[in-house]
Structure 1
Amino acid sequence: MLANNNQSIIRRMAKRSLVSNKRRTIIMALAVALSAFMLFSVFTVGITYFKMYRLQNIRLSGGDFDAIMYGMTKEQKEKCEDNPDIDKIGIAAVAGSVLSTDYDNTANVGCVWLDEVYWNDIMTPAREWVKGSYPQEENEIMVTKEALESCGFEELGLGIGDTFRALWQDAQGNQSQREFKISGIWEGYGTKNVFYVSRAFYDQCGYELSEVASDRYFMTFHKDFWTQEEQDAFIDSMDLEKQQSLFFSVEAGYSIPIVLGLAGIALVTCLCAYLLIYNILYLSVAGNVRYYGLLQTIGMTGRQIGTLMRRQTVIIGGIGISAGLILGTGVSFFLIPSIVRFLGVRAEEAGPIEITFHPAVFALTIFLTALTVWIGSMKPARLAVSVSPMEAAGYRPVYGGKSVRKTGKGKLLWRMALQQFTKDKKKSAVIILSLAAGFSVFLCLVTLIQSQGPRTYVSNFMDQDMEIENDTMSRADNRQWKNILDEDFLKQLSDTEGVDRVSPVLAAQITVPWEPDFADMWMQEFYATWMYVPYEDEIKEYKEHPENFGSFLVGITESDFDYLAEIVDTELDKEGFMAGKTCVLYRDSLEFTDADVRGKTVTCGEYPVEGLAGEPDAVLKPEALSNTRSFEIAGLTDERYFTGPMSGYPPMVIVSDRAVREFTDQCYVSKAAVQYTESYDEETESAVLSLMDESPDARDFSYTSKIDEAKNVKKAQGNMMEVGIGVAAILALIGILNYINTVIGSIQSRGRELASLESIGMTERQIRRMLVLEGLLTAAGSLLLVGTLGLAVTYGIYQSMNYMGAEFYVPFWPVAVMTVLMILICVLIPLAVRRVLVRDGSIVERIRAVE
C-alpha cells in the first residue's frame, strides 16, 4: 500500500474525531486532567507539609541547626573552621543556675550565654517576638514569661529595665546573692525556663568554653542530605574525646530516609496517573479497532495512523494538563484551607493555612504528566497500527486462550460476574491496581500523619498523663527537704475523679562505700566520662569520706517494675526485685553493658550527714554509719524517670519501694506518676491542678503534663497536620475519580455485550445484579492487594521516616471509612453508568452501535 502525504487531512481528522466522539474525548481528557491534578496537588501540598514538618522540628529543637556537639577543643574548632561543609557554628553555654528568690525557694532556672551566631541566626526561626535587646552588661539578662513564673514573679509585672535579686550557683557549686536587670523579653519555642546572660557574666561563672558540662556547639551545614556513612565519617574526623558527644538533628540525620519515603509516595502517585491514562487510552483504542482498520482500506498507512493517534493524544494531553493545573491550583490554594476550617481547625490554634508554591512544581507536573501520557499511549498506539483491514471488518473482542468452556456449577450470576472479571485479566488487573494504588497511598499518608499527631508524638516518650515532682528535694541542703507528697496528699490524688492510678517514687539519700569489685570500677568510668579531675586525685577522699559522694536509693511500685522490666535489655526476676534482693542501676550514659555489672553486688549506706557535707553547720549521725544493705545488680536502665532528684557520682540504685522503707525512714516521695482513666482528660487534669494549688506547699510542686506537652507540639507544628489532612483528602478524592473514570470507559466498551445479553432474555435486574457482583469482586481484589502489598509498602515507607521510633499501627476509623466508601463506589458506579447507557437507544440500536 502506498503512503499518502495527507498531514493536513490527519490534523482535521484528529480534531473531527475528538469532536464527534465527545463522550470518549471527555473521558480521556478527564483522565489526563485528573493525573495532572493529582501530581500538582500532591507536589504542592506535599512541599507545604514537608516545610511545616521541618518548621515543627526547628521549633521543638529551639533552633535551626544540623548537628550539636558537647564541648569543643581548640584543635576541633580549627577543624570546623577549615571544613568547607560547615556553614556556621553557634554556641550555647551553661552559666550556672538561679536556685531561689524571695518569692520561690525552688526556682531552678538555668542561666545560659548565647553567642551572636546562635542568637541572631540559629535561634531566630524558633522565636515569635523579642522586646528589648540581648544582654551586654554583666548583670543583664534576657527573660521569658515562663522563667519569671518559675521564680515566683508572675504577679509583680516585671518588665524591661526592672531588677530582682536571686540566689545563684556557679560551676563549682558556690552560691551567692546576685542582682539581675532585665534587658529583654522573648517568646517562642524550645527551652524557656532559662535566663540568657551576657558574655561578661559567663566569664566569671567558673566554666570554660571547651567543657562538655557547659558548652554546646550548634552546627549548620551547606549540604542538606547526609548519608549514615557521611555522618559517621564526620564524627570520626572530629576525634571526639570520651566525654564528648556529637549528634545530628532530625533533618540532617534522617534526611535521606525521609526524602526516600516521600519519593516512594510520589512514585506510587505517578503509578496511579499512569494506570489511569493507560487504561482509558487502551479502552478507547480497543473500542475503535474497526475504525482504525477501515482507515487503512482508504489509503492510510500505519505510520499515518500512529501520527493521528499522537495528534489526538497531544490535543487531549494539552487540554487535560491545563485543566488539571487549574483544578489543582484551586484545590490546593483555596479548597484545602476551607476543608481544614470546616473540620474545626481555627487560625488561632494552628495559624493560617499557607500553601507553599514553587514554579518548579508547574514544570515538573507538566513534564511528568506528559511523560505519563506518552508512555501510557505507546501500547494502545501499537495496537491501532497493528490491526489489518480484514481483521478490523469482523473484529470482536476475544479473551483468554480456551475456545471450549464447561458449564460451571453454582449461581449463574456469580459465574457470569467471575467470568467477566477473569476473561480480560489485563483490564481487570489494571482496574484493581489503579484502585489499590490510590488507596495504598491514602493508607500510607494517614498512617504517617497519625504518627506525627501531637498525642502520638508525646505518648511516644511519656506514658503517664502527669508527673508531679517534689522540688524541695532539688535543694543541696537535705534539711530543707519536705515530704510534700505525703500519704494524705497521695490519697486525695488517688480519690480524685478520673484518676486511675498514682505511682509514687521514693528517694533516700545514700552513700556507696568504696570497694574494689564494683564501686571502684563504676567510679573510674564515671570520672572518665563526666569529670575533668582524674579519679586518682579523689580516690583517697572517696574511700575516707563517702558522704562527700552521695547518691540516691530509688524505690518504685510493682506497676512501675512491670514497665521497667519491659525496657531493660535483660530479664528481671520480679520476685527477687520486689523482695529487695536485686536492683537495677541507672546507666548515666556510661559505657557499661548489662554483662559488665550483672551479678555484682552494690552496697548502700544510709547518708550520715544532716546538711551539706563538709560545711561547718553539718551534723554527723553516728547511728547511720552502721546502716548498710547490699543488693545484687540485675541490669541497667537509661530511663530517667527512675532517678533521684539530683545526680550523684556513685550509681543511682533502683529497688522496690518496700526495700527503701525497710532500709531507712529518711525517705521521701520525690515524684508521682498519675494515670487518668481516660488519657488526655482535661477535666481530671484541672482537678489535679486544683489539688496542688490548694496545698500550702503549692510553690514547691512542679509537674509535666501530657496535655500541655501535646499542646506545645501542636503549637510547634502549626498547620502541618491540617495540610497533611489536605493531602490525604486529595488522594482519596483522586482515587475515587480514578476508578469512576476507568469504570465509565470499561462499561461503555461493553455496551454491545450487555445489549446482547438483554436480547437473549437477561432481565435488567439480572444485569444490574451482575454488575454489582463484578464491583464486589473488584473491591475484594483491591482490598486484598492493599492489605498485602500496599500494607508492606506502607510499613517500609513508615519505618524509613520513623525517626521517633513510634509504634506502627494503622488508624482504624480513616481506613474503615475509606473501605466502606470504596465498596460502595465499586457497587454504585457501574449501576450509574449502566443507567446512562440504557438511555442511548433500543437493544437493536445498541447492538448495531460501533464506537
Structure 2
Amino acid sequence: MRRVSNKAFIRKLADKSFRASRTRNIIAVVAIALTATLFTTLFTIGIGTIENFQQQTMRQAGGDSHGVIKDISPQMYEKMSQDPSVKECADTMLVAYSVENPEFLKRHVEAWYYPEYHYPHCFVDILDGRAPQKADEILLDEESMNLLGLELKAGQKVTLQMKIRSSADAVTERTFTVSGVTKSDPALNVGFAIVSEAYRGKYADELVYTYDQDGSTTGTVRMDVNFANSFSIQKKLERVIENSGYSSDETDPDYVASNANWAYVSDGGETDPVTAGAAIGGLILIILTGYLIIYNIFQISVIRDIRYYGLLKTIGTTGRQIRTIIRRQAFVLGFIGIPLGLIGGFIMGKAVVPRVMEVSAYGSDSVAVSMSPSIFIGAAAFSLLTIWISTGKPARIAAKVSPVEAVRFTEQSGRRKNKKRSTDGGKLWRMAFSNLGRNRKKTVLVILSLSLALVLLNSVFTVADSFDMNTYLKKFVSYDFQIANARYFGMDPYRGISEDEVQEEKLSESLIESCKEQDGFQEGGRIYETDGCVGLRKDSWKVPSYVPTDENGVAGKYWNGQFSTLNLMDEENYRVSFYGIEDFYYSRLEVWKGEKDWQTIREKMKTGKYVIATVEPDDNGFVEKEEVWLLPGDKVTLTYGGGQQREFEVLSVVKTDYWSMTNRLNGNFKFYVPAELFKEMASDQYLMSYGFDVDDDKEQAVSDFLTFYTTQEEPLMDFTSRQSYIEQFARLTQLFTLVGGILAMVVGVIGVLNFINTILTGIVTRQREFAMLEAVGMTKKQLGKMLMLEGLYYAVLTIVISLVFGSVFSVTALRLLIGGMWFLKYHFVIWPMAVTFPILLILGVLVPKAVLRFEKKKSVVEIITNL
C-alpha cells in the first residue's frame, strides 16, 4: 500500500471538526480544568505541606544540615572533616550547660558557638548589627531581648547567668555587648545566644573536652555535616565515623553517636502504609473522577459524529488517522483547560496549606506556599494521562466502525431487544426508563460519577463527625485549669529530686489561693511529686516472666534493639515517681484493673495501706501485656527517709494520665498515695501542680486572670486550660472539613457536569429520533416530559446507588480507618447525602427543561432529511 504524506490534511480535518463541536468543547474544557484543579490542589497541598513541615522540622532540629555527629572533640572533628564524602561541615559547640537568668524560665535560652559561614544553615537571620567578633560580643534573638526588657538594637549590654557545666555548683555571670539582634524562630520556644571564635579562645580552659570522662556536653563539638545528596544520610554518617577510626556500635568503647536530620524524608525511612495508601487512593480517586467525565464526553461525541467518521472511512481515512483526529482534539482541549485548572488548583492549595500548618505541632507565622515547578509539572502530567486514558476507547470505537455500520448506528447497548406487545400504547414513563437502557454503559458512568461525589461528601462528614472531643480532651486535660511552675510546662521540666532543687521548680501557694478567690471557682486539688526520695525495693517486686532482665536480675527494656536497665535509686531500690494527690483527683482516675469505685478508692487510700499503680496505654487506650508490671493485690515495699520502709498493697492499676497527673517525664514506676501520706514520707515542699474546675460561664474570665497574673504578678508560674485544647481540636476538625469539602465539591461539580453533558448530548444526538416521534404524533410537551422523566430516573438511581454503596463503604472501610485513630469514634452518618437528594431531583427536572428551551427550533421534515 502506498504511503501518502497527509499529516497536514489530517491536522486540518481535526481542527475543522474541533471548531464544529463548540458545545462539546466548552463542556470538555471545563471538565479538564476541574480535573487539573483536583490534581493541582492535591500536589499543592501535599508538596506545600511537606516542604513546610520539613522546613519547620529543620528549625526544630537546629539546622538544615543533612546530619550531625555528636559530642566529639576538636581533634576528632579535624579528622572526620577530611573525609572525602563530606562536602561541607561546621564545628558548632555548646559553650554553657544552661543560661539561668530568671527571665528565661518560660523560654529556654541556649549559648552556642556557630562559625559565621554556617549561620544560614542554622537559620541565623541578623535583623540589626553584625556577627560577634570579640570575646565579649554576642548575638541574641529578639524574643530574648524582649524578655530582658531591652530594645531590639545592637550595642546594648546584657548580663547572662551561665552555668558552664551541669556539675558546676555556681553560676558564672558574664556581661556581653549585643553585636547583633537575630530573628526569633517561631518554630521553637527557645532562644539562642551565639558567641564568637574569640570567646572560644579566651575561655578555652573551661571548654576543655571531658565528655569521655564525665558526659559533660559543654566544650563538645556538634559536627554538622552536608553530603552531596540527602540519600542514606545515616549510613553516610556511620561511614565517616568508621573511616576515622571510631565505631558506630553503641556497645564499643570508641562509640560515636550520630543521627540524620529527621526533616529529610528521603533518608530511607519507612513510609507509613496508611499515609501512602491515602496518597495513592487520592490519586486513583481523582484519575477516576476525571476519567468518568472526559471519557463520557468523548464517548458521546463519537456516537454523535459516528456517521461523520463513517464517511471519512469511505474516502480512505484509516482507523489510525481517525484516532489521531480524536486524540488531537482532546489534547487541544487539554492545552486550554489544564492551565486554567493549574491556576485554580494552586489558589485552592494556597488557601489550605497555611491552615494545615496552623493546626499542626509545627505552627508558624512564616508559612510559604511552594511554587515548585514539580507541582505544575506533576499536575499537568497526570491531567494529560487522564485525558489519554479517557479518550482511548472512544477513539478505538470511531476507528473500528465501518461506513455501513456508521450509517445504521443507533445509541444502544448492542443487546438484542425483546419485542413487546402492548394494547394500551406507549407510556412516557416506560419509554423514559427504556431509554436509559439503550446505552447502559453511558448510564452507568453518569450514575457512578454522581454517586462517587455523594459518597465522598458523606465520607468527609462521617470522619469529621467522628472527631470525638471528649476523647481528645481526656488525653490532655482532666479538668478546666492546671497551674504549675513554668518549668513544668517547659523544656526543663519539674523533677522533684531534692528539697533544695525543688524550690526553683515548685508551684507557689499564693497562686493557688488567688485561683480559689476567683468568681466561679468550684473545686481543685494539689499534686505532689518526687523522683528522688522514694524507691521500690527490688526484692519486693517479682519481675514478670515477659519483662527482660540483665545477668544480675535487674529489669529493663529494649530501646532501638539495645537493652537498658531501669533507673536505680541505689543498689537495692528501683527509682520511683512518687505522687501525692488530694481528693479532687480520685474521680478522674481511669481504672484499668482493681477497685473502680472512686469513693471506695478514696476511703481505702486513707487507711495508708494501699497505693495506686499505673500502666502505659497506647494512643487508642489499649494496654499491652508487656507494659503490665504490677497487678491489684501485689505487695510492694517502698523505702524513704534515709532507710525507712513501708509495705503497701496495690489497690488499683490506672492508665497513666500523662498530661494531667504526672510530671510529664517517663518514669518506670509511678505510685499514687494520699497527699497527707506523701508529706509524711517525703515533704510538703514537692508541690508540682494544682488542677481545678470553674463554672462554664467563668472560664474566659479565669483564663484572662491567669494570663495577667502569670505575666505580671508571678512570671515564674504558668498555666494551661481545657479551652485551649478545645480550640486546638476545633481547628483540627475545621481543617479536615475544609480539605475534604473542597475535594468533595470539585468531584460533585464534575458529577453534575457529567449529568448535564449526558442530557445535553443525548438531546443533540437523538434529534432524528425525536423528529420521528413527533411525526407519529408525540407533542413537544410529551417529549419534554419524557426527557424530564429520564433526568428523574438518573437522579433516583443515583440516590439508590449512593445510599447502598455509601452505607456499605461507611460501615466497612471508613469504620476501619476511623478505628485506627485514637481521637476518632465512629458514628454512622447519612444526612450529608440526604441533603443533596432533593437537589439531584430538581436537577433531574430542570436540566432537560433548560436544554430543550435553548435548542434551536427546526421542523420535523428538516431534521429527518438533514440528519
Decide: shared fold, TM above 0.5. Answer: yes
CA contact (8 A) 1:41 1:727 kept: no
CA contact (8 A) 1:132 1:185 kept: yes
CA contact (8 A) 1:281 1:380 kept: yes
Match of 2:490 in 1: none
Displacement of 1:557 after TM fit? 6.4
CA contact (8 A) 1:586 1:643 kept: no
Per-residue deviation, residues 402-454 of structure 1 (Å, max 9, x unmatched): 626799xxxx98877766556644223322443455677778999999999x9
How far apart, CA to CA, are the structure 2 residues paired with 1:731 and 1:493?
47
Count of residue correspondences: 788
Aligned to 1:95, the other structure's residue is in SS state coil
Match of 1:672 in 2: 690
Give 2:389's match in structure 1, choosing from 375, 384, 403.
Answer: 375
CA contact (8 A) 1:509 1:553 kept: yes
1:204 has 2:199 as partner: no
1:702 has 2:718 as partner: yes
Match of 2:637 in 1: 603
Per-residue deviation, residues 139-194 of structure 1 (Å, max 9, x unmatched): 765544555677xx448999754133647473125123523425354311344445
1:385 has 2:413 as partner: no
Match of 1:620 in 2: none
Match of 2:329 in 1: 315
CA contact (8 A) 1:552 1:652 kept: yes
Identity of matched residues, %? 18
1:281 has 2:298 as partner: yes
1:831 has 2:846 as partner: yes
Per-residue deviation, residues 486-521 of structure 1 (Å, max 9, x unmatched): 76445346825xxx8856423367633574415899
AA aligned opposite 1:476: D
Displacement of 1:740 after TM fit? 0.9
Displacement of 1:390 after TM fit? 3.9
Displacement of 1:307 after TM fit? 1.3
AA aligned opposite 1:703: F
Aligned to 2:509, the other structure's residue is in SS state coil
Kindly indicate whether structure 1 or structure 2 has the higher relative contact order, using CA contacts under 8 Å at least 6 residues apart: 1
How far apart, CA to CA, are the structure 2 residues paired with 1:786 and 1:86?
55
Match of 2:619 in 1: none
CA contact (8 A) 2:784 2:852 kept: no
* Residues 1:632 and 1:264: Cα distance change in structure 2 (over 3 Å): same
* Residues 1:495 and 1:295: Cα distance change in structure 2 (over 3 Å): same
* Residues 1:179 and 1:692: Cα distance change in structure 2 (over 3 Å): same
Structure 2: segments with no counterpart, 5+ residues: 488-493, 544-548, 617-623
Match of 1:189 in 2: 186
Per-residue deviation, residues 113-150 of structure 1 (Å, max 9, x unmatched): 354499625431xx665545666777765544555677
Displacement of 1:775 after TM fit? 1.9
* Residues 1:742 and 1:516: Cα distance change in structure 2 (over 3 Å): closer
**1:425-440 map, 5 Å:** 425-435=440-450
Give 1:749's match in structure 2, choosing from 762, 775, 781.
Answer: 762
CA contact (8 A) 2:579 2:673 kept: yes
Displacement of 1:27 after TM fit? 3.2
* Residues 1:164 and 1:3: Cα distance change in structure 2 (over 3 Å): closer
Match of 2:705 in 1: 687
How far apart, CA to CA, are the structure 2 residues paired with 1:41 and 1:672?
46
CA contact (8 A) 1:140 1:182 kept: yes
Match of 2:546 in 1: none
Structure in which a larger fraction of residues adopt helix: 1
* Residues 1:821 and 1:571: Cα distance change in structure 2 (over 3 Å): same
AA aligned opposite 2:98: S
1:51 has 2:48 as partner: no
AA aligned opposite 1:505: I
Give 1:484's match in structure 2, choosing from 483, 493, 509.
Answer: 509
Displacement of 1:71 after TM fit? 5.5
Match of 1:266 in 2: 283
* Residues 1:525 and 1:493: Cα distance change in structure 2 (over 3 Å): farther
CA contact (8 A) 2:436 2:790 kept: no
Aligned to 1:170, the other structure's residue is in SS state coil
How far apart, CA to CA, are the structure 1 residues paired with 2:114 and 2:823?
39
Per-residue deviation, residues 769-802 of structure 1 (Å, max 9, x unmatched): 5523422432553465566559978899999xx9
1:775 has 2:787 as partner: no
1:630 has 2:648 as partner: yes
- Between 1:703-712 and 1:668-677, the stretch displaced more is 703-712
AA aligned opposite 2:389: I
CA contact (8 A) 2:95 2:112 kept: yes
AA aligned opposite 2:762: S
AA aligned opposite 1:841: K
CA contact (8 A) 1:32 1:324 kept: yes
* Residues 1:335 and 1:255: Cα distance change in structure 2 (over 3 Å): closer
- Between 1:85-94 and 1:175-184, the stretch displaced more is 85-94
Give 2:528's match in structure 1, choosing from 489, 506, 518.
Answer: 506
- Between 1:656-665 and 1:72-81, the stretch displaced more is 72-81
How far apart, CA to CA, are the structure 1 residues paired with 2:187 and 2:711?
26
Displacement of 1:313 after TM fit? 3.1
Displacement of 1:96 after TM fit? 2.6
AA aligned opposite 1:189: P
How far apart, CA to CA, are the structure 1 residues paired with 2:239 and 2:816?
27
Displacement of 1:259 after TM fit? 6.3
CA contact (8 A) 2:237 2:259 kept: no
How far apart, CA to CA, are the structure 2 residues paired with 1:725 and 1:376?
29
Give 1:582's match in structure 2, choosing from 611, 614, 629.
Answer: 611
TM-score of the two chains, using structure 1 as the length reference: 0.70
Match of 1:615 in 2: none
How far apart, CA to CA, are the structure 2 residues paired with 1:385 and 1:203?
86
* Residues 1:850 and 1:666: Cα distance change in structure 2 (over 3 Å): farther
**1:531-546 map, 5 Å:** none
CA contact (8 A) 1:772 1:831 kept: no
**1:127-166 map, 5 Å:** 129-132=126-129, 142-144=139-141, 146-147=143-144, 153-154=148-149, 160-164=155-159, 166=161
CA contact (8 A) 1:89 1:220 kept: no
How far apart, CA to CA, are the structure 2 residues paired with 1:730 and 1:428?
24
Structure 1: segments with no counterpart, 5+ residues: 609-624
Aligned-residue RMSD, C-alpha: 6.3
AA aligned opposite 1:495: G
Give 1:238's match in structure 2, choosing from 223, 237, 248.
Answer: 248
AA aligned opposite 2:847: A
How far apart, CA to CA, are the structure 2 residues paired with 1:714 and 1:135?
45
CA contact (8 A) 1:584 1:654 kept: yes
Displacement of 1:93 after TM fit? 4.4
Match of 2:23 in 1: 23
Give 1:469's match in structure 2, choosing from 479, 484, 493.
Answer: 484
Give 1:172's match in structure 2, choosing from 163, 167, 190.
Answer: 167
How far apart, CA to CA, are the structure 2 residues paired with 1:58 and 1:678?
40
* Residues 1:383 and 1:114: Cα distance change in structure 2 (over 3 Å): same
Match of 2:370 in 1: 356
Per-residue deviation, residues 776-829 of structure 1 (Å, max 9, x unmatched): 432553465566559978899999xx9xx764579999x977984686267427
How far apart, CA to CA, are the structure 1 residues paired with 2:73 and 2:697?
47
Aligned to 2:23, the other structure's residue is in SS state helix
AA aligned opposite 2:249: D
How far apart, CA to CA, are the structure 1 residues paired with 2:158 and 2:744?
57
Match of 2:578 in 1: 553
Match of 2:620 in 1: none
**1:446-465 map, 5 Å:** none
Aligned to 1:671, the other structure's residue is in SS state strand
1:395 has 2:429 as partner: no
CA contact (8 A) 1:512 1:650 kept: no
* Residues 1:676 and 1:212: Cα distance change in structure 2 (over 3 Å): farther
How far apart, CA to CA, are the structure 2 residues paired with 1:586 and 1:233?
40
Aligned to 2:850, the other structure's residue is in SS state helix
Displacement of 1:255 after TM fit? 5.7
How far apart, CA to CA, are the structure 2 residues paired with 1:392 and 1:837?
26
Match of 1:840 in 2: 856
TM-score of the two chains, using structure 2 as the length reference: 0.69
